[in-house]
Amino acid sequence: MNPRVAVLLAVMAGLVAAEQAKAQAKATTSGVLVGRSGKPLAKATVVLGAVSGDEETTYAKIKFGLATAVTDDSGRFQLSGIAPGRYTIVYYPAGPAPAKPPAEMSIKGLAAGIKSFLPMMRDVEVGRMGTPYPDRIWAREFTLLKGHTLWCIGLGEPLMKAWNATARRGAQGPYLEVRRGVVWQEKFDDKGQVKLEAWSF
């Protein structure tokens, strides 16, 4: 074999191996879970999830089975053995042992709108001023916890959508965070740091 060809093949094989190693790299990310009040959510179970689906419908589902941790007294946790990328976190506040989340969970209902109770208001966030809104059932399977905000949609029929909120699925959870109408997500890198503020705590 031509020596130059052999060298070229060796270089190419090295590049392929490096890319494969990079693709298989696993990350360990540290994080903290605190309430918007600043109080840490101690002894909470956090579960990493990958969000997939159509952004037009606040994403369709979250897939679980990636990593789980329990926060310490300061709300800190660590998630290891994950591929770097964008993820969300669902959590269970401290208390009785939480039910194991399903392999995947539909979150399409969080994109649903409700008939506006402030039909004259359009393209504005409501709920930050005055008395906080109480818990509100949303799309049957979710509850927006006290203090959530809604967005008044200005096109067509006056509607409202969940805007900033802690949403609980069913009676026991898991809990997840909605920001500006979509499920919270963050980039998880090796040795990275993430902070999740629970809106209603």
Percentage, residues of the chain above pLDDT 90: 71
Q: List the one residue out of 116, 56, 64, 118 whose CA is nearest residue 87.
A: 64
Task: Give the model's pLDDT for residue 100.
Answer: 77
- CA atoms in the 13 A half-sphere facing the CB of 42: 4
Tokens 């809104």 correspond to 133
pLDDT at 114 over 70: yes
Q: What is the pLDDT of residues 39-49, one digit of tens each?
A: 999 999 999 99
pLDDT at 2 over 70: no
Q: For 49-101, what is each residue's pLDDT tens digit?
A: 999 876 555 557 999 988 999 999 999 999 999 999 999 999 999 987 777 77
Residue 56 pLDDT: 52
pLDDT of residue 126: 97
94-103, 159-168, 184-193: segment of lowest average pLDDT: 94-103
Provide the residue count of the chain: 201
In whole angstroms, what is the distance from residue 107 CA to residue 61 CA?
Answer: 5
For residue 141, pLDDT beyond 90: yes
DSSP-assigned states of every residue in 76-140:
EEEEEEE-SEEEEEEEE-SSSPPPPPPSEEE-GGGG-EEE-SSTT--SEEESSSSSPP--EEETT
CA atoms within 13 A on the CB side of 132: 13
State mean pLDDT over 1-10.
49
**Which distant-in-sequence residues (6+ apart) come within 8 Å of 18 by Cβ?**
none
Which pLDDT score is estimated for 11? Answer: 41
Spell out the domains of the chain, with CATH numbers in brackets.
Answer: 3-198 (2.60.40.1120)
The Cα 62–Cα 48 span in angstroms is 9
pLDDT score for 48:
96
Residue pair 158/112 in contact (Cβ under 8 Å)? The answer is no
Residue linked to tokens 């290891």: 80
